[in-house]
Amino acid sequence: MLMKIAVVVVLLIIVASLFGALRALVRNQEGDKQRTVKLLAFRVGFSALLLILLGVAFALGWIEPHGLGG
């Protein structure tokens, strides 16, 4: 249960960062280019964190893959 919550929180952070970068890109004001780059780098970092988190959880047996269908 805790693992599912952690994954959802990290996904929400990734989405919030992506939309923040989009907003900064659309506004196109002075200094927004740096903000856009920082937010996109933040998103990439959290995406890597999510992959590592899922890999560790899989290796420790906290999550298990399942097939589609019955």
Q: What is the pLDDT of residues 3-50, one digit of tens each?
A: 889 889 999 999 999 999 888 888 877 777 888 888 889 999 999 999
Global confidence as pTM = 0.78
Q: Is residue 24 part of a domain?
A: yes
Q: Is residue 15 part of a domain?
A: yes
Q: Is residue 68 part of a domain?
A: no
The span from the CA of 7 to the CA of 10, in Å, is 5
Q: Is residue 67 part of a domain?
A: no
Q: How far apart are the first and last CA of the chain?
A: 23
Supply the range of the domain harboring residue 38.
Answer: 2-60
Q: Is residue 49 part of a domain?
A: yes
Residue 69: predicted pLDDT: 67
Query: Structurally, how many domains does the chain consist of?
Result: 1
